[in-house]
Chain A
Amino acid sequence: MHMNKVSIQPFIDSVNNTEKITEHVSKGKPAVGYFCNYTPVELIHACGCIPFRISGGPGPLARAYDLLPDFICPFLKRATERAMNNELSFLSGIIQGYTCDAACGVVNVLEKNISGDVFEVIPFPYSDNPDSRTYFRNILATVIEQLERIGGSFSEDALLRTLELYDDIRRILAGFYDIRYAGRLPMSARDLWHVIRAGEVTLPEDYLPMLVSLAEDIRETSEDFNGRIPVLVSGSLVEDADIFDMIESFGGRIAADDLCTGLRSIGITGALKEGEAEGDPLNRLIDYHFARVPCPSRARAEDRLYHLIDGVKRSGSRGVVFLHQKFCSPHLSDFPFLREKLRENNIKTLQVEMDETWTSSGQLKTRMEGFFEMLRESI
């Protein structure tokens, strides 16, 4: 879409180069990589380290196949490729919440094949009860130990400050989502994707002022962008925004999402509740974890359906595009149930699988065109 009335160039710059991060690293601030939203970035930041979300991005694969089979998702293969090409050598290691088996395995594989001082997979509990919370605090203590080993330092006050910083960020992003649900966000899906991704590779104290400035611009320029067919996009990581452009080129408007590089990254449902600012910060972190927009690796499809239907209703979406990374076992496992239930709710669906090139075949364009024609006819 072409309503690029706000400048998102600073966000694009942040995504496209890591100079600022490497500058911090050169001054002695360790950077820690992670793959998934479930990693407690707040803890990494509170310990004085830089949480840096590793992306794969579109591109070729060569060295990754020296370490991995071809049947894991393009994201992890490409991330491995980048790691093996020394593109991530500024990281002190990887800390990753256990989400999918492949991500866990890749952390352990990389530990053996790249330099770094900390490689930790965090075994979060699945249940939320007093015992699991006691256990949770213990595993967070282990993470803190690991971070202290690479020069980090933890205090509850620091975590409190970090939580507030991230809450401010999430409130602003949640505000963008509300405007988008109403069809009045003056940004293309590509733009919003850049805005969110920038937050994953920028220190939150640098990111917040960028967002505040953007939020002011958006208020000044918001207008109605209805007329296009609103759809919700569901999936894991989107590594190339061309697919969004394609959806928009067929008359679609991405009005809502259920993506790891979208709503799940913001995790708005766990935002700080009023009056809880004085609460124990580790408990607040645990509260946030359990209130996340759920990932199929850790939740039932039924729990995800609620968020999908909610997103569809709030945004007035006419259909759902499932954007799956090839071989992504958790998402592919949930798909049949979600499709069936959405159909029962008279919501049409399209499933798209992407490989590491993120290119769109002619066949995909035909399917996409057909999907939007069908949605248009159903209005």
Chain B
Amino acid sequence: MKRSGKSNKRLKAAKELNTIVMDFYVECMQAKKEGKPVGWMPPMNGAIEVFYAMDLQPFFPENWSPVCAAFGLAPTNFEVSENMGYSMDLCGYLRNIIGYVNGPMQDGDKTLGGLPEPDLLLSPGGGCNPVMKIFHALERRFPNAGVFRADLPQVAVEDIKPHHIDYAVTEMKRLIEFLETATGRKMDYERLEEVVRLSDRSCELWDEIMSYRKHKPSPFSAAEIGIMFVMVTRQGTEVAVDFLERVLEEVKERAETKIGVIDREEVRLFWDNIPLWYNMGLFNYFEKMNGVVVAETYSAAWSLRLGTGHPLEALALKSLKSYPMVSCVSIDKRQEMVLKACRDYSIDGVILHRNKSCVPITLGQMDVKKMLEDELGIPSLIIDADHMDERNFSVAQFQTRADAFMEMLHRKKME
């Protein structure tokens, strides 16, 4: 096994996904050429639906980082940002995108056609500290972009009260006003309702697709988790819904005909935290020991329904819940979700990625570990790594720990 490597995918939809990814970035550049305003924003909030409803082009710097990891651009980007003075201890997303916009992008890099400069920046107050700092740096790099200083309560999902929702709705309205002024386009609220309906439909499909992984054998593994690209970049569009419907069809068929990921699925695993984007092949590593990663925490960020009828409230709630649900903002909720997933998906063992690039998702893992042992008797393995920076990942250490863990799980199943 190498430190970096692509995953071995089994779904036919994986090929289609490549086209969807390419199309998205082509569309971003095309929008720029055609004078359609391009806005850079963080993912996991309701701004994407607002953008699609107003026929504006959203772009997600965080999502560009996995692309950089897959195309081998990350080391160059790290070198640029670290030379600027950014510490190696900072989040890899932050170092990567700051490095990219101040390095390869300035030098005319054309990976996936290149990136369009932003006309608008949705600079968050809320979410995690690194994402806020990413946007502060982008404001400096793109001084001509119009900046919306967003605000979102950082509140645990289980503690959300009407005043949090009211404020988040107010912020959605403020965003729309800002966009109307900045672009001269008016929001069509009927169109917004339709976009929210599509967004909700994609969440419904997402949940349905994931639920087929409860089948034994599981029709697909975490190696295919790249399908979340449409949830990050295309939520609220027919593109996402159509793609997910096809994925569902394929997954359903595989589940019903008992086509699994490998011939003998013996050990079912759960993955906590962001994958190693530069080494998605790591998910396949467990397969040689008849293990399949059948569920993960990260995909739960899109496992929420958007009530229709009150689109702004639906988007406000989506914004309030998405990130806290998978981070240390809501450790209680996260524990509850992991516990439920382990029951529902018949999990034998849990892999906790202690991710140097993500403090918010890593904090609370030890409590998750303890709870799994105490309440379900499920053992877990901690892997020290980093979702972006392969320098923080030791293959030898991973293999030693993973092999011993899998052996133990097999023994446990025999007992």
Contacts and interface: CB of A to CB of B under 8 A. Distances in A.
Interface in A68-120: 68-69, 71-72, 98, 100-102, 104-106, 108-109, 111-113
A297 B129 contact: yes
B149 A127 contact: yes
B359 interface: yes
Interface string B124-146: 01101110010011011000000
A71 B359 contact: yes
A136 B332 CA distance: 24
B129 A329 contact: yes
Given A127-B151, A332-B89, A108 B364 contact: yes
Contacts of A125: 125, 151, 153, 167
A127 B330 CA distance: 23
Contacts of A301: 136
Which DSSP category, helix, strand, loop or mixed, fits chain A's interface? Answer: helix
20 contacts: A69-B359, A69-B365, A72-B359, A98-B154, A101-B327, A104-B154, A105-B327, A105-B359, A105-B360, A108-B330, A108-B364, A109-B364, A125-B167, A131-B167, A132-B151, A297-B129, A301-B136, A329-B91, A335-B87, A340-B85
Interface string A318-332: 000000001101101
Interface in B300-351: 327-332
B407 interface: no
A306 interface: no
Interface stretch (B24-32, B112-120, B158-166): B158-166
B89 A68 contact: no
Contact of A337 (B140, B155, B367): B140
A142 interface: yes
A145 to B, nearest CB: 11
A109 B367 contact: yes
B219 to A, nearest CB: 34
B408 interface: no
| Size bin of chain A's contact surface | 35 or more
A104 B356 contact: no
B328 A109 contact: yes
A340 B91 CA distance: 21
Contacts of A72: 359, 363
A138 B331 contact: no
A297 B327 CA distance: 17
A132 B150 CA distance: 11
Nearest to B328: A105
A71 B356 CA distance: 7
B4 interface: no
Contacts of A100: 129
Given A105-B331, A135-B167, A333 B363 contact: no
| Size bin of chain B's contact surface | 35 or more
Contacts of A109: 328, 331, 363-364, 366-367
A123 interface: yes
A125 B360 CA distance: 19
A105 B125 contact: no
Most chain A beta-carbon neighbours within 10 Å: one of B137, B327, B328, B356? B328
B362 A332 contact: no
A138 B155 CA distance: 13
Contact of A142 (B87, B161, B356): B161
B196 interface: no
Interface of B: 84-87, 89-91, 94, 125-126, 128-130, 133, 136-137, 139-140, 149, 151, 153-156, 161, 163-164, 166-167, 170-171, 174, 327-332, 354, 356, 359-360, 362-367
A43 B170 CA distance: 26
A68 B170 contact: no
B367 A329 contact: no
A98 B363 CA distance: 15
A20 to B, nearest CB: 33
A68 B360 CA distance: 11
Contact of B90 (A132, A300, A332, A340): A332
A101 B328 contact: yes
B363 A66 contact: no
B151 A126 contact: yes
Given A71-B89, A332-B86, 5 more contacts: A98-B154, A123-B164, A126-B149, A300-B136, A336-B86
A294 B202 CA distance: 41
A139 interface: yes
B388 to A, nearest CB: 14
Contacts of A326: 89
A298 B124 CA distance: 11
A69 B149 contact: no
A69 B363 contact: yes
Contacts of A245: none
Given A105-B364, A139-B163, A330 B133 contact: yes
Q: Which 9 A-B pairs have the closest CB atoms?
A: A126-B125, A105-B328, A105-B363, A336-B85, A138-B163, A333-B133, A135-B167, A123-B153, A108-B331
Contact of A123 (B154, B327, B331): B154
A61 to B, nearest CB: 14
Nearest to A330: B129
A233 B198 CA distance: 53
Most chain A beta-carbon neighbours within 10 Å: one of B330, B356, B359? B359
Given A125-B167, A126-B149, A329 B359 contact: yes
A334 B87 CA distance: 10
Contact of B331 (A68, A112, A135): A112
A72 B151 CA distance: 25
